[in-house]
Structure formats: structure tokens, C-alpha cells
Chain A
């Protein structure tokens, strides 16, 4: 049993923390926080690309450093904690999918651009009628000569407002045994005149978009993984996405340290909040919750590294992480008191509104990246051999 970070991993975390801190000055943070695009966002991502940071987890043959899963988790956690613009989906979903399913031409064209921070992908999966049940998606792609023609709308297209390409899931076959059989993945050029978007403002300030496709033309060689074989491309990247999602819960640990530091400073003088048993018990409880999340995430990351991911655990960690994070942030708001919900840029906003914003955005993962109820059904069927109640 060995559940803790080793010396090299702790050192790596400190180095990455220093690196991100040097880039993410308070002014820069204020400019980009919550953004998924814009000039400053792009500038930082190009800088990360130049410094080789984006591809630390990639295989060496694609210019990466082959970070282990735990090292990647540390990387994403530190990037996330510092509010660094980091094209997680492009790096951790699209890139690996192209490596696995792409043609040589696709690899040669896209991977160096992604690595250099010069190419950002939006992901167009969700439709108005297909969210929780993604495999039911309907947007058709119709072959016309050497190109597919796409018409329709996508909802919650992450990075849709400032992307170079859209990683688009479309229906290429209606008459299929299972709905997931007729799906294909295609790469849309965002400069296509038929592509447009409209921003969707969200509760957690996370930018996302509605995207529109009007006779958008996609050359045949921009299909990834073959026609009607898109579902495999989508699901094969779930492992990578688990790590991405796990890293997001680091905001709980980060805000916990901040609040404890604040309480501790106020208590140094003597009769401060940390002398109150109620405050101590709440601090203790939150620590207990955070430690359990940390071990679950490290255990999952280690399973991924060993190629032995337990589907039940991975699905369960998704919702457990989310619910515990919400609970921890709630407790931290309690500890901070009545000004906890003063919003940035109001003068009284604590930690420049960071805690208030994190609390607001933490809830999105009850839905985003796999709806909680679906994850629970998977836990019951894979982990407890109960009937499959999803489909």
C-alpha cells in the first residue's frame, strides 16, 4: 500500500506551481478567469505550447514527456488552481483520439499545431434533444461528392466561441441496431462560412456556446476513426477525461487551504475562530472529506496508469467527487460567514470572489461530463451486478 505522493511528485508540484504562478499574475487572472477564449487566453496557451507544458502527458513520439497519470493529474491540478487557460479538451481528449484513430495525414497536420498551442478544438456533442442520452444524437451528415454536408445546431459546445476547429459528432446512419452504431466524428473548420455561434451564459460563469451549422462542408479526409465508428472514438477517451474531471476537484483543497490560513492568521492573536469547537469540527470534517476524495482520485489515476480501470469505481468517483466538492465548498462558505457570497468585483468579495465563483461553478459537474444519475446506474450494474437500468 502506497497512497501518498512521492518526493519527486511533490517536487514536480512545486515546480509547476511556481511556473503557473509566474505566468498567471493577478492582472492576467482577472482578465481570463472563466473565459474559454479571447486574445489573452490565446496568448497564454501559445506560451504554454512554446514551453512544452501542453504536451507533458503525451507520448514521446508526438513530442510529449510521457508523464504518468498521477503526474498529469498534478499538472492539471496546478494549472486549474492558478486559473491558467489550458485547452484541456483539445490536449486530453482530441489529441489522444487523433493519435489513436487518426490517419497519418491528420496526425501530421493537427498534432504539432495542438502541441504549439496554436489550435483549439471545440467539442460539439450535445444537441437540444440529446444530452444525457448522447447516443441518440440526430444531426445528420450527408455525403455530397467528396464532402459531407452538415446542417443543424449543437448545444453547450465548449470553446465554441473561440475555436479553430469543432470536433463534431454527427449521425451518418439512421437505420441501426443500436443508436450508437450510426455516429461519426468529423473535424469542422471554424472558418467555414456556414459555421456560427451564440454564447450561452452559465450559472458558474463557464463560457460555452450554441453552435450553428448551415451547409457546412467537411472533406472526407476529416472523418476520424471511420464512418459510423464515432462512438468508439468518443468512449475510448473517457479514461483521459476522468483525469481531467478528477483534477477539477482540486479547487476544494485549494479553497480549504486558503480558508484555514485565514482562520489560522485570525487565531494567532489568541481568541480567534479556530478556538471555537464548532469551527474546529467543521474544519476537521472538511479535511476528512477532502482526504477521501484525494485517495479516490489517486486510486483511479493509478488504475488508469496500470491499464486496469474499474468502470464502477471510475463512474462512481465522478459523482462522489462532485457531491463531496459541493459539500466542502458549502462548509467553507459557512466558515467564512455572511460575506461569503459577496460577488466580484464588489469590495467585500473574499479572495477576489474566487470562493464565491468556485461554489457557483462546482455544481456544473452534477451534469457536465456525465450526468450523475447515469453514473450511479453504471455503478450499480458494473460494481454490484444489478440490472442495467440505463438502456
Chain B
């Protein structure tokens, strides 16, 4: 067994860390967060210049042809620095899906633009909230027409295009590409609790030509499942970065701040809470590594990626509240950075599936085939 990233994998991101450190100091992040378009354009450009946006794009389309493992190390950095860029949306939720498509023309058109940083992409799925439950429907033979609503589309107003997962009349999934500004598509800008830019998308008889179909039928279902699995792991990496750094800052704060004549961290009531948060994060890290291991080695990752996302929420909730609480009054002040770790932790907890959703998904998979857990540790 090996519970480490390789030196080669680590070296890829060492250079990237300097980029984040230079461009993502607390003041910059605060200022961008308060601006009209909370998107770190300079960081995005630098990431493109250093080849990071092409990490998992194949060499044929201008990328470096690496794996999700290297990319996840980049998401850990994004979390650590709370960098407001649509990296998971563009590279994983959309980029990897397009890479997995058989539509060679579409790939040749879009992927080089992703690598160069020109094209931001955002994933669209049917809303599953109580407000908009109508779903996203696609109809047609070759050319398709989309109807429906999606409530939380990251960076929707600045994205150049969307990778949309909808359902056809016969119940099968279909994935299409839809550019920003398409006729019949309107975008209402929204802001998330974390300050992240988002959008609500309305499709009203939005025409999608056959040339923009990413996948249909069984291959669309497989690609949509793969998209979920990859995203769950990516979010786990991001969350590890957010919570590690948030808790590190918290420990530093309580070790310095004195009350009753001694550091707050010298009270066991404080150290106990910090330790609980620490182990919640380690539980997340283990689940994240297990899922990444499965993806890297081509194992069935349906269960392990959901376990990882379960812990994104479980650890996110516990650690996020601890981070904020142990900062005392100053944690409540939005001029001070602590609250951002809390808000990001909570954002990641919920985005594309809560712990309950994950538990139910895992339970369904076990109900469908109990042998996958009954033989745990003994079966290949």
C-alpha cells in the first residue's frame, strides 16, 4: 500500500503553488469577492500560461495528458487559497466530459480553448431543489430542443458555454453543448452564500443542433456517471484544501490569542474541538485518497467517490463550524478571512449532493448488489 502522492505528481503542483501564493493573498481575495464579477481573471490567465488548465486535456488538443490525480493536487491549492475561479466546473465537470465524447469536431473546437484559458465552461443539470423540479427535457431526432430550468450553475454569466445533461422522452440521458447566448436560453445571475458567482438557467425551446451533442443513450449515461464521480473527488480535494488551511489558521489564532492570562489553545475545551475537526478532515482525506486510488487504477469507483463526497459534507460541516467558532468574535467579522473558510466548507458540503444524498445513493447501490460489500476485503 502507498498513501502518498508520487514525487512527479507533487512536482507538477509545486510550481503552481507559487502562482496561487503570489496572486491570492487575503486582501486580493477579499477585494475580488466584493467586486461585481468575483472571478480571479489574472489567476486564470497565469494558470493557463503555466499549462495547468491543460493538465488533463490530451496532447492532441494542446494539453499535457495527465490524470485527475495531478489535477486534484491543484484543487487542493485552490481550496487552500480560496481562489475564485471555475476550475472544477471548466476542467472536470465540462472538460473531462467533452474529452470523453465521441464528437471529434466538438472536441477539436472546444478543448484547445479550454487549455488556452479563453473558454470558461459550466455544467448544467436539472434542478433538484424544491423550487424548480420540472427537470431538463430534450426532444428531437438528430437536432434537439431543450426545455427546463437549472438553479445553480457555477459562474454561469461568465461562462462561454455549458455542458448540459438532460433527459429524453424515453428516459435516457443526453449530454449536449450549448453556447452562451443561444436562442431560447436565458441566464439570471445569482450569488451563492460563499460569494461564488452562479446563475439560474432557463431553457425555452432552445435549439441544439446535432453537431453539439456530446453523448446520447448508454454512452451519455456512462459519461454522466463518470462526470459525477470525477466531480465528487475533485470537490473532496478542494475541501481538503479549504479545511486544512482553515483549521491551521484557527490553531494559530488560538495559540496566540490570550484570555484569562493564557492562550485560548491552552484550554482543553478548545483543544478537544480542534482535535475533532482534525480527525473529521483526516477521515475525509482517507475517503478522498481511496476514491482517487480507484479512479487512478480504473477500479469501479461508484461507491468510493460517493463515500468521499459524503465526507466532504460530514467533515465540512463539523470543521467549518469549529473554524468559525474558535475564532470567537473576530470570526464573525467579514473583514477578517476566517468566515470564508466556513462559507466555502458549507458550499462544498451541499454542491451536487448532500451527505444524505450520498448515503442514499450508496444504499441503493448496495441494495442492487449486496455482494459488493459482503465480500469486502476478500474479493478482487
Contacts and interface: CB of A to CB of B under 8 A. Distances in A.
Contacts of B268: 373, 377, 389
A1 B293 contact: yes
Nearest to A320: B279
A10 B379 contact: yes
Interface residues of A, number: 60
A281 B287 contact: no
Interface in B227-267: 247-248, 251-252, 254-255, 262-263, 265-267
Contact of A1 (B2, B278, B287): B2
A28 interface: no
Contact of A260 (B265, B267, B366): B366
B263 A387 contact: yes
Contacts of B374: 257, 260-261, 264
B20 to A, nearest CB: 22
A283 B292 CA distance: 23
Contact of A288 (B248, B251, B266, B307): B307
Most buried by B among A267, A279, A287: A287
B111 to A, nearest CB: 26
B105 interface: no
A177 interface: no
A7 interface: yes
B41 interface: no
Interface stretch (A57-65, A125-133, A311-319): A311-319
B119 interface: no
A387 B266 contact: yes
Interface stretch (A198-206, A216-224, A296-304): A296-304
Nearest to B297: A2
A288 B275 contact: no
Contact of A316 (B282, B296, B373): B282
B131 interface: no
B150 to A, nearest CB: 24
A316 B278 contact: yes
Interface stretch (A31-39, A152-160, A241-249, A378-386): A378-386
Contacts of B266: 387, 389
A346 interface: no
A interface secondary structure, majority: helix
A206 to B, nearest CB: 25
B286 interface: yes
| B contacts with A: majority SS | helix
Interface residues of B, number: 66
A274 to B, nearest CB: 4
B358 A386 contact: no
B334 interface: no
B363 A283 contact: yes
Contact of B378 (A13, A288, A291, A386): A13
Nearest to A279: B363
Interface string A271-282: 000110101111
B214 to A, nearest CB: 29
Given A291-B307, A295-B290, A284 B279 contact: no
Given A312-B278, A380-B275, 14 more contacts: A2-B3, A3-B290, A6-B1, A253-B377, A280-B359, A284-B306, A284-B360, A291-B290, A295-B286, A295-B290, A320-B283, A324-B283, A377-B271, A379-B278
19 contacts: A1-B5, A3-B3, A4-B1, A13-B377, A70-B1, A260-B373, A264-B367, A287-B362, A291-B287, A291-B304, A298-B3, A299-B3, A316-B278, A373-B272, A385-B251, A386-B255, A387-B262, A387-B265, A389-B265
The 6 closest A-B pairs by CB, nearest first: A280-B363, A284-B362, A295-B286, A284-B363, A380-B271, A376-B275
